[in-house]
Chain A
Amino acid sequence: MTETRKPVGMELHHAIVSHYSAEVRMLQNQQYRKWFDTVIAEDIHYWMPVYEQRFSRDRRPDPTPGDAAIYNDDYAELQQRVDRLLTGQVWMEDPPSRIRYFVTNVEAFEIAPDEFEVFSNVLVHRNRRQSEVYVHTLGREDKLRKTDSGFKVFSRKLNIDARVVQDKNLYFFV
């Protein structure tokens, strides 16, 4: 895709990158409630579609939110996932796993006053139990809204770079 739009200026770009750094620090520290309250907008669509392996000549359309998706959550549904982690009864996260995020290739464009489309690459490293290691890379397409209390994401599309997910679950936030 040739980008004809002009990216945001240096100051805004820096603010968005800093926002992402603060966001992943909350997730790395298991501050899920704070993460949810701080960065998620009430009109969020949190979406990880399933892309089949198809021949290039295949003319079927790309997946829509009406199709099978690993995540397809609205605000209440995402909140329920956070609440579950905080019940104290998620045995698989006790002892907790270690997770580290690397967010790169950030490109931001203004799409409306105080609204931005932001592309980034995310690398997630999970270490669980004694020696389980899982590494995922994802392409992330965000729509952010600048509010009085900072940036809020109201659309997040996650393209995981795997047809067969190489992990026992993807129950973590990106």
Chain B
Amino acid sequence: MNGSSTLVDNAGASQSRRVFWDQDVYQLELERIFSRCWLMLGHDSLVPKPGDFITTYMAEDRVILSRQSDGSLKAFINSCTHRGNQICHADSGSAKAFVCNYHGWVFGQDGSLVDVPMEERCYHSDLDKSKLGLAPIRVETYKGFIFGCHDPEAPSLEDYLGDFCWYLDTIWGGPEGGMELLGPPLKSTLACNWKVPTENFVGDGYHVGWTHAAALQMIGGELAGLSGNRADMPFDDLGLQFTMRHGHGFGVIDNAATAIHVKRDGYVNYLEETRGEIREKFGPERERLYVGHWNASIFPNCSFLYGTNTFKIWHPRGPHEIEVWTYTMVPKNADTETKRSIQREAIRSFGTAGTLESDDGENMSSATYSNNGIITRKGRMNSSMGKDREGPHPVYPGIVGVSFIGETSYRGFYRFWQEMLDAPDWAAIRANDDTWDAMWTNRNFWPDRLSAKQAEPQD
């Protein structure tokens, strides 16, 4: 496919509607994004013991993630190297070996082919089993979160997460033990393009008050004022928004970590007890983030809400459908009762029957399917909010937008999305490492704003 540069207009802050609809765009995404980026596979907590495995997807490829006897992790394609049958049909479990249902080929925990039925009589020593292992996948972890990647030229996971590590450390490496995932995942299908929920989580503080008006009204608490956009709030002073080199991004609402949770005493206490440790380790700027509520996406298709603690993987199923997987992210060292309470509240709001999630799914489907009209599809979508009110910040890495209601991280997500589609390989992407943020021209926004604040008379 040619002309991907017309799909995203960075300077004009718009995207072609084709990005949500066209089959050839999707095909290019599979080849250039999903085959080359680090994709979320899970967490150590889901495969704690040797022999433990889960089955998952990397885009539409079926994958087995397996804990080895030495404690390391391996991932491989879940498809027999003989005639292609899917090998493992269980969601999770513990297995010494994986046996294909079709002819009974046996693969070890590490994906190697260890046994073939009647090998001597059928193959007469002609089968080189060492060349017929399940196709391996690069696996690396960051603070217990497990990612897989197909591209040997891709940077390390830590370099891929890049500037986002500075932020993720606050929550994943913050209090002793960090965070873990609780499964099993809820799974459902949603008729939408995979980027609609990803962009929503990466940077949409704007929809919260309107889309979720009913739920916020019922839940009450800190965000009730947003319901129906009724409250006159000074958004510029209530949070921030961030975007990174590789398209990751998030928005934070100050002091609102647990705002969506109704029963929250245990979690509130946990955050209060641990925030001092965060301040000591990381300073006041990240303590601010630690007690805020985050809406975040890790490029390309993993999203989470820190505070609410729902954790999503949006597995693409063609350009117009996804499979939604929902885990819950909990502090590893919180007590069992607190963890269960967080899980219950996270699913109540953002599970398959979630009081907020249900509102979102409807929009995501509708924002995709309106583009089946050929005239509609020739139009563009706008993401210009807060465009000149963002820039590099003296403390926070990446590009920082002044409000959690803004589209800074939308622009950063699509900037990298286009870069990935255009680049022939990772070398071409690395070549842009020093100039990636050139589209943000208001370089003095933060220095000016911070010195103006300092000059304000103190009460």
| Binding partners A and B | yes
For B340, list chain A residues within 8 Å (CB): 66
A80 to B211, CA, bound (A): 17
Q: B355 contacts the other chain (Cβ, under 8 Å)?
A: yes
Interface contact B214-A84, CB-CB below 8 Å = yes
Interface contact A169-B355, CB-CB below 8 Å = no
For A55, list chain B residues within 8 Å (CB): 90, 93
Q: A161 contacts the other chain (Cβ, under 8 Å)?
A: no
Complex interface: stretch among B24-32, B291-299, B358-366, B384-392:
B358-366
Scan B342-354; emit 1 where CB is below 8 A from any A CB, else 0.
0110011001111
The residue in chain A whose Cβ has the minimal distance to the Cβ of B362 is: A92
Contact residues on B (Cβ < 8 Å of other chain), bracket? 35 or more
Contact residue among B90, B344, B361 (Cβ-Cβ distance under 8 Å from A54): B90
For B278, list chain A residues within 8 Å (CB): none
Which residues 171-219 of B have a CB within 8 angstroms of A? 182-191, 211, 213-215, 217-219
Interface contact B361-A169, CB-CB below 8 Å = yes
Interface of B is mostly: mixed
A66 to B328, CA, bound (A): 13
Contact residues on A (Cβ < 8 Å of other chain), bracket? 35 or more
Interface contact B348-A72, CB-CB below 8 Å = yes
Q: A135 contacts the other chain (Cβ, under 8 Å)?
A: no
- Central interface residue in B91, B182, B211, B365, by most chain A CB within 10 Å: B91
Interface contact A165-B188, CB-CB below 8 Å = yes
Contact residue among A68, A77, A81 (Cβ-Cβ distance under 8 Å from B182): A68
A60 to B92, CA, bound (A): 11
Which residues 345-403 of B have a CB within 8 angstroms of A? 347-348, 351-355, 357-359, 361-362, 365
For A72, list chain B residues within 8 Å (CB): 344, 347-348
Interface contact A53-B91, CB-CB below 8 Å = yes
Q: A52 contacts the other chain (Cβ, under 8 Å)?
A: yes
Interface contact A169-B354, CB-CB below 8 Å = yes
Interface contact A81-B347, CB-CB below 8 Å = no
For B191, list chain A residues within 8 Å (CB): 168
Name the distance in Å between A173's Cβ and chain B's nearest Cβ.
Answer: 10
A170 to B348, CA, bound (A): 11
Q: B430 contacts the other chain (Cβ, under 8 Å)?
A: no
Chain A interface (Cβ within 8 Å of chain B)? 48, 50, 52-55, 58, 66, 68-73, 77, 80-81, 83-85, 87-92, 163-171
**Which 8 A-B pairs have CB atoms at the shortest separation, nearest pair first?**
A165-B188, A92-B362, A169-B358, A89-B214, A168-B361, A170-B353, A89-B213, A171-B358
